[in-house]
Each structure stands twice: as C-alpha cells, then as structure tokens.
Amino acid sequence: MSTDTPTAPTPVTSGPAAPRWTTHRELQAWIEEVVVLTTPDAVHVCEGSEAERAALTDALVGSRTLTRLTAKPDSFLAWSDPTDVARVEDRTFICSVEEKDAGPTNNWMAPDEMKAVLTDLFRGCMTGRTLYVVPFVMGSLDAEHPMFGVELTDSAYVVASMGIMTRSGTEVLDALERTQARYVPCLHSVGMPLADGVEDVPWPSNPTKYIVQFPEERAVWSFGSGYGGNALLGKKCYALRIASAMARDEGWLAEHMLILKLTSPQQETHYIAAAFPSACGKTNLAMLEPTLPGWTVQTLGDDIAWLRFGDDGRLWASNPEAGLFGVAPGTGWDTNPNAMRTIAQGHSLFTNVALTDDGDVWWEGMTDEPPAHLTDWHGESWTPDSDGPSSHPNSRFCTPIAQCPVLAPEYDDPRGVPISAILFGGRRRTTVPLVTEARDWAHGVFMGATLSSETTAASTGQTGVVRRDPMAMLPFIGYDAGDYMGHWLDMGKGADASRLPRVFYVNWFRRAGATGDGPFLWPGFGENGRVLKWVVDRLEGRAAARDTAVGRVPTYGGIDTTGLDIDEETMAAALRVDHDEWARELPRLQEWFDSLGTTLPSTLRQELEVLRSRLVG
Ligand code: PEP
Ligand code: MN
Ligand code: NA
C-alpha cells in the first residue's frame, strides 16, 4: 500500500495469500496475475515522493544505468544499449479484434494470438527483478473523468521517467481506490530475467521487441525495449494510440500536437495547436521566443493534445503530459533558450547524450563550439576530431514542464484552452510553401490527411525519405487511417463553422534549388513568430491572402519581414506555389489515397480532384 513504508519493495510470498498492494479490486487482481506470470522477486507500489525518487536514482547509479550529473541538481544521464535508441514502428501492433479496424497503416495480429505470443515472452521475464506499480493520470486529476493508467514495469529507469512525464503516485492511487475507477493497464518489461548466475547490464533489453495496443480492451503490453515511446507507456501508447480509439468512440480527438498561447502587441491572445512529425521542431515552436517585438509565446504542451468541443462550440485542447521528452541535438541557447532554461533547473533525465568532463551534458547544436573533450554516448572518449557525433541523433532530455519559464498558467486547467488555429507541418525541401491557409474545414482535413515529411531519427529505419504522415499521426493512429480521417471530417460536420479552428499548413524546411539541395529559404526558429503573426492577422481579418491551387498564401509583403535580412526573391521562393512541383505531387497523393482502401472518405477524394483541376485545369 502506498501508505506503508514507501521505498522498501514487498517481497513476493509464494502461496495463495498474496500481499495486498491496493484496495482497488481490479488493480489488485491484475497485479496478482502479473506476479504469477512474470515471477518478480518483489513488488513496489510507487508513491512518487522525492525520497522514493532519490532511492531509485541512487540504485540506478549503483547499477551503472545512470550517471549522476554534478553540474545540475538531481539530474542524470543514461546511455542505452546501442540497439535500443528509438521507437520501433515495425514492432508496433494495433491488435484490434478485426484486422480491418487496424487499417492498412498499422501492423496487426489477432488479439488472442498476440496474447499467446506475449504471454510466452512475459513468463518468468521479471525473475530477479522488482515489479514497480506506477499509478498515473494523463491530464488533470481534477478532470470530470480523470484518465487513469497504471504501468507495471521492471525498469526503474521507466519509473523515474514516468515520474517526470506524468502526474503519478500516491495521490493518483488514492483517487483510483476511492472511486474504483477504470484505468488503462500498461504492462512493460525490458525482457531480461535475472535467473541464477545471470549478471545484470546497465541497460537491459531484449532483441525481440513488441509494442502492442489492444484498442477495444484499452490495454498496452510492451516487451523488450527500455527506450522512450516504447516503454513510457502513458505517452505514445496510451495518450495517442489508445486515446485516439477512445476519442473516435466518444467524439473527441487525441493528436500529436503542441499547444501554445500567442499574445500580440495589442494583447490579443490566441491558442494554437500544431502537428508536426517527430523531430520536426514541435518543442522549439511550443516555447518560441518571437523576434518580432511585442509578441510572446507561452507553452502549454510540446507533443500531445486532447481536443474536445466545449459548450461554447469551440474546440478546447489540453496537454495530458507533465513533462517534455525532447530531441536533444539541435536544442541550444540560440535555437531554444527556454528548453535550455527548463533543463538548467535540474530534476531531469538525459538519454544518449554526451558527458562533459565537469559532470554536465552536451550534444550537437547546444553550443557553436563543441567542448574540447567529452565522453560520447557509447562511453568512449570523444574530441571534435572524432568520427561520429558525440550524441545519438535521437538522444533526449526528459524534464518537468512545470520548470519551463514560459509555461502558460492555463496549463493546469482541466478544461484546457480554446483553439483558434491548427497548424499542420512537415519537413519538405521542395513544393510546400512556408504557410498556406485552408479554404475550410474539409480542405484543412485534406491538408492534414496528405501531410508529408522526410523521415527522421525518431524512429528506427532510413532517414530523409518522404513519406505521408497524416496529421503527423502515422505511427500513432490506433485504428483505421481512413476512419480516422472520416472522424476528423465528422468533428467539423456538427460544428458551427465560425467557431472551428482555422487550419494552416506550414513548412519551415523548404530549400533553394530545383531539387531542394540549396540552403534553407526561411531562417526558422524565432523568426517563425512572423508566420504566427500572419496566422493571427488572418484570424483577426487584417491580412489579405492570395487564393492559389493549394490554398491561401500570403500576398506579397504579407509576412512581416521588418528587421529580417531576407531578400524579396528568397521570400517569394519560400511562398511560391509551383504548379510543376505540385503536378509531380499529384500521383503521389493519388497513390497514398489508393493505399488507404475503401474507408477513405469520398470528401477527401473530391478534394484531390479539386486540387487536380486547379493545377492542370
Ligand atoms: C519517442 O520516440 O519515444 C517519443 C516520445 O516520440 P517522438 O518520436 O514523437 O518524439
Ligand atoms: Mn512526438
Ligand atoms: Na528514421
């Protein structure tokens, strides 16, 4: 029980009288079941206290999983096994009862079949380890229906990370017990039992990995990985894959979006949600420092938004997470000073970045000049002359969002905030203009449904390949992709169009040259505030737009470039709608839609025909 001596795990006694870990009947039964299956040496119900965190991190330093950073308070560095560094999309499954409900974009296996496979893998997998019980809630504990989860894991690193990324511990367990509420069971193991004579390693994992969602049962099973989105099950597995299926059934949206609050010099405020694929700058935009005088951005979230209609007919967004799990490389005092200030306060966990000689972290892009000497993420001595980068391209910082100096006070409001605009964006070196406004909701859904981006290191596999990533949700849609697009259209159908968020498509990554091999056309980072200004000017009815084949783009001079060193030709190139480039895009869009099968809404096919006729007449 959470009220017992906190940090001592309870040894598991064999025989029929299982210890009582909780008064929540279903949870007690589930823990008993998992104990029998996985045979841990001990069970520890996490209370989420500072003393518990200190004991856990001490133990992780002892087992060489973590290195204590002497330069930042209560901060640690983990180096993972080099084979366990990113989400594994090819090992991720949506095990719906019927195959068609997983759709063509997900891996599928029948739930019974998958349960059999996993049960074999989980049998005895926690031998020699402690089973941790992490009660957590995604979003506010004060919500009308708090979104509970419980992760059972044999990884203390996961416990420490979940403590940062979610609201968790005794308070949550108390609420669960009081109400006997339902929760999403999230079972996790690194998959490396310590049978007699087996010695532990700093980063235990298993070459066989399964990240499995059961959408009807609302359950997650994850085996073999200790890394981020594979293992911190409240995040991608629950708050996106399982929650998207809940949202379809209940009439809301679970999206891969940052949430920011933008205030103009006239003190107008607008809340904006933005969906970009992993490692395309969501964290940077969420805590942007606009270069334009008088404009401010405050942060509400950097990765996940849950959107529901309010009584006022507007779409309200809240961030279900309590922490940031940001891509480290490229994060620096120039590119994202607020992220640097957030981690400077400590209480953070870093994974696969480099260690400085004075007990701090460093990664590519943190400072212009690399330190003269580092220990790289492989634990090897590193100098600027060394071959590879010091940090893995998908290395991460995990830090409490409450430490962000520009956190909006509304972050904690269980109602969320009313969204004025949704931005979709990807990483495209050609074709896609800096900013385009959708003509209406259906056109906005078409923009999201056809979003494309060059792949990044956030997932294993080749990087730099253009792939369609609908609403930046390709790896996270917990059901059929065509049905998902249909759900987006339905959300707009019942709504008062004047209260729906306006939809925009942005591309910070367009480059010069016919094949996009030249320099970036747009400086990005703090200058992206200029694009946000255009969005607000559109919302406030202050900016004109050019109607083009692909949507509304800024008129000449529409983007405020005051004080920015960019010539007219470059600005025009960043905003250009090139019919030849778009004509080459058409067959790819057709192919993408064809790949989605019969559930693709006819409205989206019609949108494609409208685009085709506008482009080729
Ligand atoms: C992750 O990879 O673990 C993760 C949190 O997600 P993303 O790839 O969206 O950054
Ligand atoms: Mn993400
Ligand atoms: Na990749």
ipTM score assigned to the predicted complex: 0.90
pLDDT band at 462 (very low <50, low <70, confident <90, very high): confident
Query: Could you tell me the CATH number of the domain that includes residue 260?
Result: 3.90.228.20
- CB of residue 323 inside a 6 A radius of ligand 1: no
358-374: b (≥16 Cβ within 10 Å) or e: eebbbbbbbeeebbeeb
Q: Is 229 in the pocket of ligand 1 (CB under 6 A)?
A: yes
- Residues ≥6 apart with Cβ < 8 Å to 19: 10, 12, 13, 43
**C-alpha pair distances (Å), 383 with each of 77, 358, 363, 374, 375:** 19, 15, 12, 6, 9
- Does residue 351 lie within any of the structural domains? yes
Please report, as a single letter, which amino acid is at residue 291. Answer: T
Same domain, 318 and 328: no
Final residue of a domain: which of 250, 283, 299?
250
- Residue numbers of the domain that contains 359: 324-403
- In the chain, count H helices and then E strands: 15, 31
483 and 414 part of one domain: yes
Q: Which of 87, 282, 324 to mutate to test the pocket of ligand 1 (most atoms within 8 A of CB)?
A: 87
Indicate which residue's Cα is closest to atom 3 of ligand 1. Answer: 229
Q: Which residues are annotated as a binding site?
A: 87, 227-229, 236, 256, 278-284, 303, 394-396, 427, 525-528
Of 467 and 462, the structure prediction assigns the larger pLDDT to 467
Residue of 236, 303, 350, 394 best suited for mutating to test ligand 1, as the one with most atoms within 8 Å of CB: 236
Is the CB of 211 within 6 Å of ligand 1? no
Position 81 in a domain = no
Ligand 1 atom closest to Cα of residue 228: 3
Domain membership of residue 4 (yes or no) is: no
Whether residue 240 has its Cβ less than 6 Å from ligand 1: no
pLDDT digits (tens, 9 = 90+) for 372-430: 999 999 999 999 999 999 999 999 999 999 999 999 999 999 999 999 999 999 999 99
Indicate whether 395 and 337 sit together in one domain: yes
Contacts of 306 (CB under 8 A, 6+ apart): 139, 239, 243, 247, 252, 253, 254, 255, 317, 318, 319, 320, 416
The contacts of residue 350 (CB under 8 Å, 6+ apart) are: 69, 75, 76, 77, 78, 328, 361, 395, 396, 397, 398
The pLDDT value given to residue 456: 84
pLDDT surpasses 90 at 11: no
- Are residues 294 and 199 part of one domain? no
Ligand 1 in contact with 87 (CB < 6 A)? yes
Q: Both 391 and 501 in a single domain?
A: no
- Ligand closest to 324 (CA) is 1
What is the total count of domains within the chain? 3
Last residue of a domain, one of 387, 403, 419: 403
Site to probe by mutation for ligand 1, drawn from 238, 325, 398, 456 as the one with most ligand atoms within 8 Å of Cβ, is 325
Residues with Cβ within 8 Å of 416's Cβ and at least 6 positions away in sequence, in order, are 306, 307, 308, 316, 317, 318, 410
For residue 181, the domain's CATH number is 3.40.449.10
Asked if residue 172 belongs to a domain, the reply is yes
**Does 452 have pLDDT greater than 60?**
yes
Mean pLDDT confidence for 196-218 = 97
Flag whether pLDDT at 572 surpasses 80. yes
The answer to whether the CB of 245 falls within 8 A of the CB of 103 is no
What radius of gyration, in Å, describes the C-alpha atoms of the chain? 24
Residue 463 has a pLDDT of: 83
Beta bridge partners of residue 517, listed in sequence order:
none
Instruction: Judge whether residue 6 has pLDDT over 60.
Output: no
Residues 495-511: pLDDT tens digits?
Answer: 999 999 999 999 999 99
Q: So what's the pLDDT on residue 2?
A: 39
φ and ψ at residue 444, rounded to 5 degrees: -65, -40
Pairing mode of beta strands 361-362, 354-356: antiparallel
Nearest CA to ligand 1 atom 7: 278
Q: In the predicted model, what is the mean pLDDT of the chain?
A: 96
Q: Which of 106, 58, 16 is nearest to 475 (CA)?
A: 106
Report if residue 209 sits inside a domain. yes
pLDDT for residue 233: 98
Domain CATH for 350:
2.170.8.10
**Model confidence at 194: pLDDT above 60:** yes
Kindly state the average pLDDT of the residues 157-170.
98
pLDDT recorded at residue 534 = 98
Q: pLDDT tier at 514 (50, 70, 90 boundaries)?
A: confident
Q: Is 548 exposed, middle or buried (0-12, 13-18, 19+ CB in 10 A)?
A: middle
* Alpha carbon distance 247, 215 (integer Å): 11
Residue 1 maps to a domain: no
* Ligand 1 atom having least distance to the Cα of 458: 8
What is the per-residue pLDDT for 461? 86
CA–CA separation, 251 and 488 (whole Å): 10
Burial profile 560-579: b = 16 or more Cβ within 10 angstroms, e = fewer? bbeeeeeeeebbebbbbbee
Sign of torsion over alpha carbons 324, 297, 317, 606:
negative
Q: 194 exposed, middle or buried (CB, 10 Å; 0-12, 13-18, 19+)?
A: middle
231 touches ligand 1 (CB under 6 Å): no
Task: Say yes or no to pLDDT of 459 above 90.
Answer: no
Look up residue 501 and give its DSSP letter: P
Residues 333 and 429 in one domain: no
Residue 352 and residue 297 in one domain:
no
Distance 277 CA to ligand 3 centre (A): 11
Place of tokens 């809940």: 246
Q: Report angle CA 517, 518, 520 to the nearest 5 degrees.
A: 110
| Encoded tokens for 65 | 């999983």
**What pLDDT, on the 0 to 100 scale, is given for residue 13?**
59
- In this prediction, residues 121-138 reach a mean pLDDT of 98
Assign 3-class secondary structure to 94-107.
ECCCCHHHCCCCCE
* Binding region for Mn(2+): 236, 256, 303
CA nearest ligand 1 atom 10, residue: 278
Of 303, 295, 333, nearest to 321 by C-alpha is 303
Report if residue 79 sits inside a domain.
Answer: no
**Section 271-278 average pLDDT:** 96
Dihedral (Cα; 379, 353, 323, 76), 10-degree rounding: 40
Amino acid occupying residue 90:
D
Q: Which residues are annotated as a binding site for GTP?
A: 279-284, 396, 427, 525-528
- In this structure, are 152 and 197 located in the same domain? yes
Tens digit of each residue's pLDDT (9 = 90 or more) over 313-365: 999 999 999 999 999 999 999 999 999 999 999 999 999 999 999 999 999 99
What is the model's pLDDT at position 5? 44
Q: What is the DSSP string of 306-359?
A: EEEE-TTS-EEEE---SEEEEE-TT-STTT-HHHHHHHHT---EEES-EEETTS
* Per-residue model confidence (pLDDT) at position 342: 98
Q: Whose Cα sits closest to atom 9 in ligand 1?
A: 278
Phi, psi dihedral angles at 487 (to 5 degrees): -65, -40
Residue 520 per-residue DSSP state: B
Neighbours of 119 (CB within 10 A): 11
User: How far is 486 from 220, CA to CA, in rounded Å?
Assistant: 25
Residue 70 included in any domain: no
Whether residue 458 has its Cβ less than 6 Å from ligand 1: yes
Residues 264 and 388 in one domain: no
**Ligand 1 geometric centre to CA of 415 (Å):** 26
- For residues 55 and 194, membership in a common domain is answered with yes
Residue nearest (by alpha carbon) to ligand 1 atom 1: 229
Distance CA 258, CA 285 (A): 8
Closest to 448 measured CA to CA, from 423, 421, 427, 478: 423
- Residue 598: CB atoms within 10 A of its CB come to 7
Return the pLDDT at 8: 65
Last residue of some domain: 368, 383, 403? 403
Buried b (16+ CB within 10 A) or exposed e, 477-488: bbbbbbbbbbbb
Assess contact for 431 and 466: CB atoms under 8 A: no
3-state SS, residue 605: helix
- Residue 282: is its pLDDT beyond 90? yes
H helix or E strand, kind and range, residue 466 = strand 466-468
- Alpha carbon distance 460, 437 (integer Å): 33
**Residue nearest atom 4 in ligand 1 by C-alpha distance:** 229
**What is the residue type of 227?**
Y
Q: What angle do CA 408, 410, 413 make, to 5 degrees?
A: 150
pLDDT at 7: 53
Ligand 3 centre distance from Cα of residue 99 (Å): 26
Ligand with an atom nearest the CA of residue 235: 1
Asked whether residue 398 falls in the same domain as residue 284, the answer is no
Q: Decide the pairing of beta strands 305-309 and 253-255.
A: antiparallel
Task: Tell me, yes or no, whether 142 and 258 share the same domain.
Answer: no
Residue 40's pLDDT band (boundaries 50, 70, 90)?
Answer: very high
Q: Is the distance from CB of 339 to CB of 283 less than 8 angstroms? A: yes
Residue 398 is among the residues annotated as catalytic for this protein: no
Q: In the 8-state DSSP scheme, what is residue 12?
A: P
Q: If you count them, how many residues does the chain have?
A: 617
Ligand 1 atom with the smallest distance to the CA of 277 is: 9
Share of the chain above pLDDT 90, in %: 93
